[in-house]
Amino acid sequence: MTATSLHGVEIDGITKLYGDAVAIQDVSMTVSAGEFVTILGPSGCGKSTLLRMISGFAEPTSGDIRVGGKSVVGLPPYKRDTAMVFQDYALFPHRTVAENIAFGLRMRKVDKSEIARRVEEMLELINLKDFGKRRVSEISGGQAQRVALGRALVVRPAVLLLDEPLGALDMKLRKQMQAELKKIHRELGLTFIAVTHDQEEALTLSDRIAVMNAGCIEQFDAPEALYRRPVTRFVADFVGGANLIDAEVGPAGSLLINGKPLAEMPADIIGARPVGSAVSIVVRPEILSTSAVGENDLGVQAVVTEVLFSGPVQQIVGRLADGKTLVAHESALKPSLTRGETVTFSWNKTLSWLVDR
Q: Is 54 helix (H, G, I), strand (E, B) or coil?
A: helix
Q: What is the pLDDT of residues 59-112, one digit of tens each?
A: 999 999 999 999 999 999 988 999 988 877 788 888 999 999 999 898 888 999
> Quick check: 2 pLDDT over 60?
no
CA dist., res. 193 & res. 84, Å (int): 10
Beta strand 159-163 with 82-85 is parallel
Mean pLDDT of all residues in 318-335: 92
Q: How crowded is the C-beta side of 193, counted as CA atoms within 13 Å? A: 28
Residue 214: C-alpha distances to residues 27, 59, 108, 197, 248 (Å) = 11, 19, 38, 14, 28
Number of H helices, E strands in the chain: 9, 20
Residue 314, strand partner residues:
309, 330
pLDDT at 314: 94
CA-based nearest residue to 153, from 118, 117, 108, 107: 118
Which of 317, 289, 286, 284 is CA-nearest to residue 303? 317
The confidence score (pLDDT) of residue 328 equals 95
Report the alpha-carbon distance of residue 102 to residue 110 in Å, rounded: 10
DSSP 96: B
**55 CB neighbour count, 10 Å cutoff:** 20
Cβ-proximal residues to 24 (8 Å cutoff; 6+ apart), any chain: 14, 15, 16, 46, 49, 50, 53, 60, 215
Distances (CA, A) of 209 to 167, 176, 285, 323: 18, 21, 21, 33
Q: What is the pLDDT of residues 254-283, one digit of tens each?
A: 888 888 887 677 888 888 899 999 999 999
Tell me: pLDDT of 5 over 50. Answer: no
Alpha carbon distance 173, 206 (integer Å): 18
The Cα–Cα gap between 147 and 292 comes to 55
Instruction: Please say if the pLDDT value at position 39 is more than 90.
Output: yes
Domains and CATH numbers, the chain: 4-229 (3.40.50.300), 242-356 (2.40.50.140)
pLDDT band at 57 (very low <50, low <70, confident <90, very high): very high
Maximum separation of any 2 CA atoms in the chain, in Å? 78
Mean pLDDT of 298-326: 91
With cut-offs at 50, 70 and 90, classify the pLDDT of residue 7: low
Lowest mean pLDDT across 165-169, 274-278, 308-312, 341-345: 165-169
Q: Tell me, what DSSP letter sits at residue 323?
A: S
